[in-house]
Structures are given as C-alpha cells and as structure tokens.
Amino acid sequence: MEPEKTITTVSGIPVKQVYTPADLKEIGFNYENDLAEPGQYPFTRGIDPEMYRKDYWIMGQYAGYGSAEEANQRYKFILEQGGTGFSIALDLPTQIGLDSDHPLSQGEVGKIGVAIDSLRDMEIIFDGIPLDRVRHIRTSACSIGPIALALFLAVIEQQRVSPDRCSIILQNDVLKEYPVRGTQIFPPRPALKFAVDAIEYCARQLPTWQPLMVSGYHFRDAGANAIQEIAFTYANAIAYIEETLKRGVDIDQFAPSIRLHFCASMELFEEIAKLRAGRRMWAKLIRERFRAKDPRSWIFRHHSGTLGGNLIAQQPFNNIVRVTIEALSAILGGSQSLRTSSMDEAYAIPTEEAERLAIRTQQIIAYESGITKTVDPLGGSYFIESLTSKMEEEANRYLQRIEAMGGAIAAIESGFIQREVDENAYRVQKEIEKGERTVVGLNKFRTEEKVSIKTFKSNPQTTGRQIERLKKIKAERNRGEVQAALSEVRKAAERDENLVLPILRAVKAYTTIGEICDVLRGLWGESRPQVVRF
C-alpha cells in the first residue's frame, strides 16, 4: 500500500486532515500571548477593537496611464464610483528617473502608468481633485521617493491646503526592486540613503504622512511564497528602520508612519494566517527589538492588493471569481485598505467597466456578505491558529538566515533573495506544466471558445503630446533658477545631507525628474544587473 501523499499549503506547510484542541496544545498556544483581544498587543486579531464594525477598509484602486489629463479622468471616475482612495501608477520612464524625451523612454511613455516629468504634470493630475478630500493617495515611487514627496508638497501648496490634512502614502521601498522588480536607479546603499531622506523628513516635519510602504506584494508577484513574502519584507523593513535610527530619529517618531503592503492571493486560509502572523511578528519586532514604547508604533498598518499574477488570459471572466476570493482573504485577514485587480489585467490596463467591477467586488463584500459584522471571525479556529503560528515560525527562520548574512543589503548583493524567489517560481511553474497544480482554464477545464471582451486601447498621440508639454515647460521656465536648484541638490548630496528640501526647490522651479536623477547618477553611479548563479 502506497503511503498517503502529504497535502500542503502553496508555501509547503503540511495540512492535516482535521484539527482539534490537541493541535493548539502542541504549539503551546496561549490566548493572552498569542491572540488577545482585537486592538490589543500582539494584534493578531486586528489593530482596532471594532475593525469593520466601525468603518470599512479603504477601497482604493491602482490606476494611471497615458498623460496627466487621462489619469485625472480615471481618478475622478474611481472616486465617482465610490472609491475612497487611489494609487498613482507611474510609467516606466518616471519610475527609473528618465524624462519622456529620453531615448530610452521611447515606446514606454504612459504605457504602464502615467507619465510625470515635472510639477506641471502633477498640477494636471490633481486638477479638480482636492488632496485633502481623498482618504488615501498612494504612489509606487520606489526609486524616486524624495522627488515624489517634493511633488506632492508643491501641489498641496498650490491648492492652499495644510499638508497635515492630507493622507499621502509613498511606497518608497527601493530595496525590493533589486531582486524582483528592476526599476532601481542607484546602487543599493545610496538608494537606501535616498529613501530614508523622505522617512527622516516626514518624521520631523510631516508626522501624519506615511513615507514608507514596505512591499511584499512584488516578491509574491515575482514567484515567492507566503512565508518568503513576510520574511523578505521584514528584512527590508529592518534595514530602513536601522538606517533611520542612525539619523538620530527616535523609533516612536517614525514607526507609526510605516505601512506594510502584502498581496492577497488564492489560498484563502494561508493568506488569512499570513496577515495574522504578520501583525503579531511586526508588534514583537518593533516593541522587543527596537524598544518602541508608544503602542501606536507596534501596529501593523497594512494595505492589500489582490495578486495580478494569478489572473490569466484564458477564460478571463473566471478572474472575477479569483479576485473575489483574494479580496475575501484580505478582509478576513484584517486589512485596512484594499486594491482589487480587474478581470482584464492579463490583457492590458483595465477598462473603466472592469475597474468599476473591481470596486463593486469590494462594495458587495462590505455591504452584503455579512463578514464585517464581527471582528476576526476565524479567530480561535484550530486550523487557523495552528497555521498562523507555523507561518510565524517559518518566516522568523528565514529572517534569521538573512540576519546571519549581514541583513537585507548583504542578502540582496549576494543574490540570495533573488535566487530564493526564482527557485520557488520555477518550482511552481513546473507543477503547473505537469498538472500537479491546477489553474482552471489554463491546464484543466480548458475550452477553445474565442475570448470576446473589451480591452483598453492606449492613445497613440500620448507620447507626442507629453514630449511637446515637456518642451514647452523647459522653454518657459527660468533656466537660471533650474541650474541654481540643481547645483544645490548636487552640493547637498556631496555633503551627505537630507535632499528633500533642495529637491523641493528644484521641483518648484519646474526642474524635471530626469534632470534631478541625472545629478544623482553623476555622484552615486547606476545600479547594474547582477548575474545570479544557481
């Protein structure tokens, strides 16, 4: 008789046939230490005593494409549909500090996000959108965090609103770019310094802003499993925290402003356990390792995004079901904000119809499902609590390995993190190809029917219009002011000073992102791709 095959989660954690109180006894489960009440340390059950009974999560969308005018229209559309926040998707040239007229920008302007070259583009993006009226505005400016911060400050000043009335979130997480995303500009060590400039400035001047969203989502989208997602995210978070502490900023000055960004994927119970374990680990990390005294510092402030990499082109309407399951995992796991993917994302940027459906998915869960009526409805489940503890244990084991290497920067430079992600992605792909892992419509339950959905079509005139606006800005601005501002950026960087204020002066003079980054490239050099050997 063949031995029974071990059933595991997608991260490889064995799953028993049934769970009983004996399983909690086996892991030494203690209600007060491991669970406690919602809103109490270690926040396993949620960061607020009432959670969604008091207020629903922030329902936002990740959007942006083409020109500033087109992005402005899409953000207004999202808000009109009941969205309470949005995230500005940047095109590739903007993300890597290139202007739209740069030769390397050809073919990429406005394609995967909105093109932003100067303050003028930000003025157009927020025309008719008061920044103090949207619950959360986020941006994925990971390699240009201090420049994005300066752009927001400049446009807020123009709108004549107080910065502390605005809720601005900068992802500003450059470290995850090196192993899994690839939009880094500078080598890791100066890039870390640059990101911390924004964190330090906000800690001292804008305590209500959130200048760091450490992102595990992109590790997962590149092929990591849920355990690796937690571990690699927290390793990067430790690097940012330690660098900020070196500036003389107290942990309680900036820890409450840090947000975490995890994905919401398809294995429902593992994803719920991941968020519960993540909250508990974060509370312990900040209180015990970094000695934070303010309870607000211990809180895991979290944004979820349903995992776009799970969506497939075959039978695209099935993606609606996938997004619903993923959204449920985020909400049952206790997310404070959520971005839902659109069912057509395997083809292109979402259409307005698909974007509306993505928002409606969240609204139906909130208003019709009943799962928001009690806090942490799965708390105390023998399976969920066992899985939560196992995920915490395995993620901590990974963290210990990274710490032994010298931390996140060393693990990035050695190629360790990239190898781990790539090896897991390869294993999953082989399982799909062999039929050992089912993806409905892709390797099982396939049909030959033609796909008939409306897909987004980009405006072929966007690039030309963007370049013309850039030329106009350069011709009309005060060239002397621009050169003086760039000189100040260079001098401040040479003195290893915080660059936010010099960059703000440059931004107000309509200096472009590319011009600012070129100054820093000249001083710090550029990141070069690694050859990672297996």
**One-character DSSP codes across 297-330:** GG--EEEEEE-GGG--SSSTTHHHHHHHHHHHHH
- pLDDT of 322 higher than 80: yes
User: HSE-up of 283 (CA within 13 Å, CB side)?
Assistant: 23
Which residue's structure tokens are 């911060």? 149
pTM: 0.95
Which residue's structure tokens are 């992109």? 218
Angstrom distance (rounded) from CA 27 to CA 437:
30
User: What is the reported pLDDT for 66?
Assistant: 82
- pLDDT of 2 higher than 60: no
User: What topology is assigned to 21-434 in CATH?
Assistant: TIM Barrel (3.20.20)
Average pLDDT value for residue range 249-269: 97
- pLDDT of 531 higher than 70: no
Burial zone of 314 (CB within 10 Å; 0-12 exposed, 13-18 middle, 19+ buried): middle
Which residue's structure tokens are 């395997």? 346
Most confident stretch, 160-169, 277-286, 349-358, 460-469: 277-286
Angstrom distance (rounded) from CA 390 to CA 407:
23
- pLDDT of 109 higher than 70: yes
- pLDDT of 361 higher than 90: yes
Per-residue confidence band for 1, with pLDDT thresholds at 50, 70 and 90:
very low
Angstrom distance (rounded) from CA 424 to CA 161:
47
Structure tokens at 235: 């390793």
Strands 85-88 and 337-339: unpaired
- Give me the percent of the chain exceeding a pLDDT of 70: 98
- pLDDT of 85 higher than 80: no
